[in-house]
Structure 1
Amino acid sequence: NLKKAKIDDIVRHSLSIFEDEYKQKRIEVRLDRVIDHFVMVDESQIEQVIINLIKNAIEAVETANSKRIDVKLSLSRYYVHIDISDYGPGVDKDARKMLFVPFFTTKREGSGIGLALSRQIMLSHGGSLEYIDKEEKTTFRCSIKRALAF
């Protein structure tokens, strides 16, 4: 169900769902560079992806020294990028290869379907979901095709 939507509105709404949890767990959330750009998406599906990534980031920083999540929006020639980063313990090297495999999980609770489904949603929108390896933080990047003209 594709329709024209503002990407920053989708991101802001997804972040707002967890406001009480951020306060309760004393997690700092930073939204960098709000962009006023439209995309053609199924808004509820893209929100589902962002919510899943934020939930994972919250779980990652719960016991970390730096309880911070960064969300950054950026544009490239053909895509809008949403980077969701946390400063938790990171992803084990062996687990990185399996991140998007259905039913693979490193958590005690959970089905291991979240990242696999999120990637499938992004692919169905002509975009991508990727893990970006950086030493100091864990970053997942959602890329959605830019709506170049309406």
Structure 2
Amino acid sequence: TIPISVRISEFKQKKEKFKLITFQNIESELNEKELLSWHKLIRVLTHEINNSISPITSLASSLEKLFVKSEKNISVQDVDEKIIKKTSEGLQLITKRGEGLINFVNNYKSIASIKQMDFEKIKVAELLYNMELLMRNKLTESNIVLKIEIQPIDLEINADKKYIEQVFINLIKNSIEAISDSKGIIKLNAYKTTNKKVIIEIQDSGKGIDPSIMDQIFIPFFSTKEKGSGIGLSLAQQIMQLHGGSITAQTLLNTGTKIKLNF
């Protein structure tokens, strides 16, 4: 079977109407588009894998340090309840994030055609504090303070956990990269509006976004970073749309950026 494009055009000649039908073999064009789509998909998957593996590796390194003192492994007698608790919490988070990454990779190829996601009730406090734990080492290295405010504390959202976690990893990572000065601040603020909509804001004290490109930041593969893929924000927008929500951005140069997730 050969894919063919059919075009019909009408014209007049000596007061008579004629139809010109042209047939064109478009197999090569389709092959080129398919190859380009695969290249884009590989870039997306690489971006998301790196974003998840980086905090996992960082957290694993922090857990390893709990068992090392003066460059030597501590003895069994030195392992107290505090170390056991921190190790258990860290390993559980690594396992959950690893499982979420596996599901994400397996499902991303068909994300555009997903009609129903795996929705569940998620406690916003648990979600945000898990993100703080997952990104803690990177935040400490960058000398950034993460503040979390939730009103009311028992706030819940109906969402697909693995995809929403991916959104927050991308957004927090963006905020960290946007803060060049020391003692930066990232605020995660969650609340419910008068019409019972849940809003979660990610606000940073970074350099902000140039107003002239604000209308392009959600376009796939658009990036101002030298090594940026332009995937994070466009993917976040797609995931929020699949949740029936939205994502918006506000920014001031040299003041910071606020990303608002509307559920």
**Bigger Rg, which one:** 2
Aligned to 2:121: 4
Q: Distance in 2 between matches of 1:45 and 1:123?
A: 12
Aligned-residue offset at 1:134: 4.7
User: For 1:58, which of 176, 182, 193 is the aligned residue?
Assistant: 176
User: For 2:225, which of 107, 110, 122 is the aligned residue?
Assistant: 107
Which amino acid in the other structure matches residue 120 of structure 2? Answer: K
Q: Distance in 2 between matches of 1:65 and 1:26?
A: 6
Aligned-residue offset at 1:66: 4.9
Aligned with 1:123: secondary structure? helix
**What TM-score, normalized by structure 1, do the two folds share?**
0.88
Higher helix share goes to which structure?
2
Aligned-residue offset at 1:33: 2.6
Q: 1:79 to 1:51 in 2, by over 3 A?
A: same
Which amino acid in the other structure matches residue 32 of structure 1? Answer: E
Aligned to 2:214: 96
Q: Distance in 2 between matches of 1:72 and 1:134?
A: 19
Q: 1:56 to 1:83 in 2, by over 3 A?
A: same
Aligned to 1:143: 262
Q: Distance in 2 between matches of 1:92 and 1:133?
A: 8
**What TM-score, normalized by structure 2, do the two folds share?**
0.52
Aligned to 1:147: none
1:43 matched to 2:164? The reply is no
Moved more, 100-109 or 77-86: 77-86
Which amino acid in the other structure matches residue 11 of structure 1? Answer: L
The share of aligned pairs that are identical, in percent, is 34
1:29 matched to 2:29? The reply is no
Q: Say if 1:15 and 1:51, in contact at 8 Å, map to a contact too.
A: no
Moved more, 119-128 or 13-22: 13-22
Q: 1:88 to 1:44 in 2, by over 3 A?
A: same
Q: 1:96 to 1:128 in 2, by over 3 A?
A: same
Q: Distance in 1 between matches of 2:182 and 2:140?
A: 16
Aligned-residue offset at 1:58: 0.4
Aligned with 1:59: secondary structure? helix
Q: More relative contact order in 1 or in 2 (CA 8 Å, sep 6+)?
A: 1
Aligned with 2:216: secondary structure? coil
Q: Say if 2:143 and 2:182, in contact at 8 Å, map to a contact too.
A: no
Aligned to 1:116: 234
Aligned-residue offset at 1:106: 0.6
